[in-house]
Amino acid sequence: MLPFFGRTSILWAMFSSSAFWVIGVAHVLGIAGAAMLGQRSIRRGLAVGALAPAVAALWAIGRLLQDDAANDPIVSELTWVSGLDLSLRFQLDALATMMTVLVSGIGAMVFVYAIGYFGPKAKGGGRFSASLLAFSTSMLGLVWADSVWTLFIFWELTSVTSFLLVGHKNTDGAVLAAARRALMITGGGGLALLAGLLVLARESGTTVLSDLGPVAGTPAVWAAVLILLGAATKSAQLPFHVWLPGAMAAPTPVSAYLHSATMVKAGVLLVAVVGSSFADVTTWKALGMAFGTASMIWGAVGALRHRDAKLILAWGTISQLGLLITLLSIGTGKAIFAGISLLFAHALFKAALFLVVGEIDIRTGTREIDELHGLARSMPITFGVAVLAGLSMAGVPPLLGFTAKEAAIEAVLGTSGWERWPALIGVIGGAVLTVAYTLRFLLTVFGSTPAPHADLRDDDAPAVADTRVAPRRLAMTVPAVILSGLGLLGYIFIGAVNSIVGPAATELNEKSSVYELIAWPGIKLAFVISMLVVASGAVLGVLASRHTQAAPQPLGADGADRFLDGTLRMARHITYRVQHGSLPVYVATMGATAALAASPFLFALEADHLVLWDTPIQAVLALGVIGAAIMGAFVNSRLGAALTLGAVGLGVSGLFVVHGAPDLVLTQLLVETIVVVGFVVGLGHLGQRFPRSSNIWRNVRLGVAALGGIAVMAALAAASANPSGQPPIADVTEAAVEIGGGNNVVNVVLTDVRGLDTLGEVVVLATVALGILALANARVSGPSDTSGGSAESNGVASDPKGVTT
């Protein structure tokens, strides 16, 4: 009977997996700390924000070193409603541990980098640091999630927090439009994902991700399509990729973190985690490969066409994500292994490249490749980082990207059946283009030859000169050096990388356990292909760096924005029509709807069930109520109407008394009291009589009122004449004393049995009250009292002092 040590309590869970929860709590505390400290100085906020991810990364590395990750996964569950499988469930297995290293490790480095990026005087430090750590926390939750609910919650949290980060510069309309576009596309995909996960959970009979079994049949196809839609929107796959280039409006640390290593990987990870369930669903593989190969090619083409260095990387990310999605949806042991290896390598080199571009942006003031020349001389360390990371991306030895790409080509060569050729063409084509855009990026940015565009200018001389650069900032250099250096170290110590990605891939597909990354494969088919790819890509890249064309128009982005604007316009139009502001019309509409809804019961009424009254007092009271109601409809003065309504209320409470319901009586009387006072207060501002209205409108209202009254009465009579079983009053009375510890059944029902309903209702009440307050205050800031009747039509009072509150 120790409540704190119950098996399902949070505290027990904390003891059983203390480090796990400590890290979670540290993140949450870190968010608060970063928000507070960052307010004063962005550097302090970022420094505090870096702590929790750094601890998480070190802890995850420790687990990897001790081989705990694969052998002893941490499982932690926090149940909410056990009957519905509603729980927060986390599992820290080998894959999740690897992702933790990436998410938190790169996260900590991005925090450090941001200190250099923003400079000491930047504004909004608290908001930025807190949002960045909140994103990092959501991403950790996402990679740890082991139930469909948990996954979905953190999935959406990453969408929301990334919206805040992309829209950090919230005074720029274009930035906000880009942030909104990203949110709408990823959020819409999130809805598809939820539907897909629901179908999947239902089909395989569990909500626990690690227990998901194979599914088949039509529902499985639906689930596959919906989940892939979610993954494709998040991972910026064609045609949903349009949000990613726009999101480059974010500060570069954000892009480096979200759009290389973490958020866009969420879709990839999802495909990997649920992929095994869809092993027998052809649609899964076909659609996944369609998304993947199309994005691989189109993304690489986009990277070759753009002239903004950051956009080049963004389009390259689309392409790389396509490759990952392709490999993971193929789903063989070899492909899964290659996919996970590439995911690891990609996180390292792409983050490093983004950091390079951010540093160039800060130190030269531009990201346009036409305006950048000869940075190899003026920024030698940055140049080294860019070469290491870029060649890793291109798949050149001796770098980690090379072995990962070897594995990918091997995996695709190893497939059989229809998927072999599309995958082969996609992977090899994408790889050639990748080499090309990497080389173009390196040559145009760092090379001393002026970019071709510059030749067309009138004043050649200043353009040919090397771009002037500001002094180096240590905080920006160190993370980039570490990340790109890891690409080289990973190749040298290939065994260490194998011990990370191997168990992670095995987690997804048991057949992956036999594969490992090989530093030097020897002259094999895959190696030959790889070298041909590098050679042809290099030729293409050199040609492209000399070739000139204008930056392409963002076609899809416009479409997405137009769609969104159209939706908003339509919503405004409908709102304008429906919310016209006339109280009588609202009431008449509601009455008519009620009458319509209740009218079917008119035919369900059976006369022999009806009794006129139990005691004659009921008849007297009912006559009083009816009489007062009819009077209320015809009385001309406002005060008279209020009084008749009061009479109706009192009569009804009298009926409650007869039925022996003291709680209802009490509440009814109190409500009547308040309403009467409210009327008195309100009538002070209005005329004594109702304004005249046309006869037709008056008759319509009368008709609606009469029909509504009769129909609702008939519905109640019909419902009470056909009870579905005995009323559970005896059970409830007993339960009230036993469970609720009270003799007043009504109150126990309200606070205990249906306590959640009450909770919801009082929150609704509070929300309504806040709405009233807001309206009361808003009226003053509106167009003011030009029309005398407006107070009557919306029932809101003016509030001269409200402006200041």
Partner 1 sequence: MIAPSSPMVRTGIQVATPLAVVVGIYLLFAGHNNPGGGFAAGLVFGAIVVLRSVADIQQPSRARELMAFGVLLVVIVAAAPLLWGDLVLDQAVVSTKVPLLGKVKSGSALPFDIGVTAIVVGLVMSLLDGLGQTGRGTDLDASDDRTEVAA
Q: How far is the CB of 625 from partner 1 (least distance, A)?
A: 21
Of 256 and 749, the one with the shorter C-beta distance to partner 1 is: 749
Of 195 and 776, the one with the shorter C-beta distance to partner 1 is: 776
At residue 75, φ and ψ (nearest 5 deg) are: -120, 135
Query: Does residue 395 come out as left (phi exceeding 0), alpha (psi in the -120 to 50 range) or beta?
Result: left
Number of residues that bind partner 1 (CB under 8 A): 72
Of 378 and 798, the one with the shorter C-beta distance to partner 1 is: 798
Interface of this chain with partner 1, residues 605 to 624, rule: CB under 8 A: none
- Regarding 797 and contact with partner 1 (CB under 8 A), the answer is yes
Of 528 and 768, the one with the shorter C-beta distance to partner 1 is: 768
Interface of this chain with partner 1, residues 273 to 292, rule: CB under 8 A: none
Q: How far is the CB of 751 from partner 1 (least distance, A)?
A: 4
Cα–Cα distance, 111 to 125 (Å, whole number): 12
**Which of 286, 658, 713, 791 lies at the binding interface for partner 1 (CB under 8 A)?**
791
Of 65 and 666, the one with the shorter C-beta distance to partner 1 is: 666
Of 602 and 669, the one with the shorter C-beta distance to partner 1 is: 669
Tokens (6 digits) for 325 = 């999605």
Q: How far is the CB of 127 from partner 1 (least distance, A)?
A: 23
Q: How far is the CB of 791 from partner 1 (least distance, A)?
A: 5
Cα–Cα distance, 321 to 307 (Å, whole number): 21
Count CB atoms within 10 A of the CB of residue 468: 9
At residue 694, φ and ψ (nearest 5 deg) are: -65, 155
Is residue 538 within 8 A of residue 548, CB to CB? The reply is no
Is residue 605 within 8 A of residue 717, CB to CB? The reply is yes
Count CB atoms within 10 A of the CB of residue 660: 8
Virtual torsion, Cα 558, 564, 568, 571, nearest 10 deg: 130
**Which of 121, 468, 577, 801 lies at the binding interface for partner 1 (CB under 8 A)?**
801
For residue 87, list its beta bridge partners. 79
Tokens (6 digits) for 105 = 């490790």
Q: How far is the CB of 12 from partner 1 (least distance, A)?
A: 7
Kind and range of the H or E element at 76? strand 74-81
The CA-CA-CA angle for residues 314, 320, 326, to 5°, reads 140
How far, CA to CA in Å, does 451 sit from each of 390, 433, 456, 468, 552?
19, 19, 10, 16, 17
* Cis, peptide link before residue 479, omega less than 30° from 0: no
Q: How far is the CB of 593 from partner 1 (least distance, A)?
A: 25
Virtual torsion, Cα 398, 404, 410, 414, nearest 10 deg: 170
Cα–Cα distance, 409 to 419 (Å, whole number): 13
Of 341 and 668, the one with the shorter C-beta distance to partner 1 is: 668
Of 214 and 760, the one with the shorter C-beta distance to partner 1 is: 760
Selected range binding partner 1 among 128-136, 459-467, 521-529, 667-675, rule: CB under 8 A: 667-675
- Regarding 778 and contact with partner 1 (CB under 8 A), the answer is no
Cα–Cα distance, 198 to 266 (Å, whole number): 18
At residue 80, φ and ψ (nearest 5 deg) are: -105, -70
- Regarding 748 and contact with partner 1 (CB under 8 A), the answer is yes
Interface of this chain with partner 1, residues 757 to 776, rule: CB under 8 A: 758-759, 762-763, 765-766, 768-770, 772-773, 775-776
**Which of 685, 699, 719, 720 lies at the binding interface for partner 1 (CB under 8 A)?**
685
- Regarding 681 and contact with partner 1 (CB under 8 A), the answer is yes
Selected range binding partner 1 among 220-228, 291-299, 470-478, 682-690, rule: CB under 8 A: 682-690
Cα torsion angle, 754, 757, 762, 765, sign = negative
Of 294 and 796, the one with the shorter C-beta distance to partner 1 is: 796
Is residue 5 within 8 A of residue 12, CB to CB? The reply is yes
Q: How far is the CB of 675 from partner 1 (least distance, A)?
A: 10
- Regarding 691 and contact with partner 1 (CB under 8 A), the answer is yes
- Regarding 677 and contact with partner 1 (CB under 8 A), the answer is yes
Of 626 and 762, the one with the shorter C-beta distance to partner 1 is: 762
Q: Quick one: which of 395, 391, 354 has its CA closest to 257?
A: 354
Cα–Cα distance, 628 to 630 (Å, whole number): 5
Of 599 and 777, the one with the shorter C-beta distance to partner 1 is: 777
**Which of 582, 688, 733, 781 lies at the binding interface for partner 1 (CB under 8 A)?**
688
Q: How far is the CB of 75 from partner 1 (least distance, A)?
A: 17
Q: How far is the CB of 651 from partner 1 (least distance, A)?
A: 19
Cα torsion angle, 317, 320, 326, 331, sign = negative
Selected range binding partner 1 among 168-176, 471-479, 561-569, 795-803, rule: CB under 8 A: 795-803
Query: Does residue 579 come out as left (phi exceeding 0), alpha (psi in the -120 to 50 range) or beta?
Result: beta
**Which of 617, 671, 702, 778 lies at the binding interface for partner 1 (CB under 8 A)?**
671
DSSP state, residue 364? H
**Which of 670, 702, 719, 778 lies at the binding interface for partner 1 (CB under 8 A)?**
670
Cβ neighbors of 159 (< 8 A, separation 6 or more) are: 183, 186, 187, 190, 234
Rg (CA), the chain: 33
Selected range binding partner 1 among 462-470, 526-534, 701-709, 750-758, rule: CB under 8 A: 750-758
Tokens (6 digits) for 663 = 């709680």
Of 79 and 210, the one with the shorter C-beta distance to partner 1 is: 79
Cα–Cα distance, 341 to 208 (Å, whole number): 25
**Which of 279, 489, 686, 713 lies at the binding interface for partner 1 (CB under 8 A)?**
686
Of 641 and 718, the one with the shorter C-beta distance to partner 1 is: 641
At residue 119, φ and ψ (nearest 5 deg) are: 75, 160
Of 25 and 773, the one with the shorter C-beta distance to partner 1 is: 773
Looking only at the bridges linking them, the beta strands covering 74-81 and 86-92 are antiparallel
**Which of 17, 682, 707, 710 lies at the binding interface for partner 1 (CB under 8 A)?**
682
**Which of 119, 495, 581, 687 lies at the binding interface for partner 1 (CB under 8 A)?**
687
Interface of this chain with partner 1, residues 718 to 747, rule: CB under 8 A: 739-744, 746-747
- Regarding 673 and contact with partner 1 (CB under 8 A), the answer is yes
Cβ neighbors of 234 (< 8 A, separation 6 or more) are: 155, 159, 186, 189, 190, 263, 264, 266, 267, 270
At residue 78, φ and ψ (nearest 5 deg) are: -125, 105
Site string for partner 1, 636-665 (x = CB under 8 A): --------------------------xx-x
Of 10 and 571, the one with the shorter C-beta distance to partner 1 is: 10
**Which of 680, 702, 716, 778 lies at the binding interface for partner 1 (CB under 8 A)?**
680
Q: Quick one: which of 270, 197, 263 has its CA closest to 231?
A: 270
Is residue 621 within 8 A of residue 655, CB to CB? The reply is yes
Count CB atoms within 10 A of the CB of residue 609: 11
Of 5 and 418, the one with the shorter C-beta distance to partner 1 is: 5
Cα–Cα distance, 103 to 263 (Å, whole number): 9
**Which of 32, 72, 80, 719 lies at the binding interface for partner 1 (CB under 8 A)?**
80
Q: How far is the CB of 641 from partner 1 (least distance, A)?
A: 15
Of 2 and 612, the one with the shorter C-beta distance to partner 1 is: 2
- Regarding 752 and contact with partner 1 (CB under 8 A), the answer is yes
- Regarding 699 and contact with partner 1 (CB under 8 A), the answer is no
- Regarding 25 and contact with partner 1 (CB under 8 A), the answer is no
Selected range binding partner 1 among 19-27, 430-438, 677-685, 705-713, rule: CB under 8 A: 677-685
- Regarding 789 and contact with partner 1 (CB under 8 A), the answer is yes
Q: How far is the CB of 551 from partner 1 (least distance, A)?
A: 51
